[in-house]
Amino acid sequence: MKDEKTLEELKEMGFTVEVVGRNSQSSNVAETILEIVAYILLILGLIFPIIMIVVVMENPYAYPSFGAAANGIMIALAVFLIVAVLGYWAFFKVFVNISRTLKRIEANLSK
């Protein structure tokens, strides 16, 4: 392969070459970070819309110039945010699981 030849040439020039593969620690760290980000997004994404709903319910006349429609819009926005956050969380979790599954498959094939 062209890349292997290039790596050999770099080694001959005196460079230290380290090949980082899929089973490296760096990709494990990336998966863990993405999983942590997914959970942080889930927690914050559920807390803020709930706060929005509570504030709107406790003070229904906060926007008198908009009338009752503003309260309905705020509640609909909060529900939409909850659904969107759950979708993003699920996407991140599936993405991480696909990455881990591909690593396991690769490890099993290389045996």
pLDDT digits 0-9 by tens, 57-70: 777 666 666 666 77
pLDDT at 72: 80
pLDDT per position as a tens digit, 30-54:
888 899 999 999 999 999 999 988 8
Q: For the range 90-98, what are the long-range contacts, defined as Cβ-Cβ under 8 Å and sequence gap of 24 or more? A: 92/34, 92/35, 92/37, 92/38, 92/41, 93/35, 93/38, 95/34, 96/31, 96/34, 96/35, 96/38
**What are the residue ranges spanned by the domains of the chain?**
27-109
pLDDT score of 94 more than 70: yes
pTM of the full structure: 0.66
Percent of the chain with pLDDT over 70: 68
pLDDT at 101 over 60: yes
Q: Give 1's pLDDT tier (boundaries 50, 70, 90).
A: very low
pLDDT at position 6 is 67
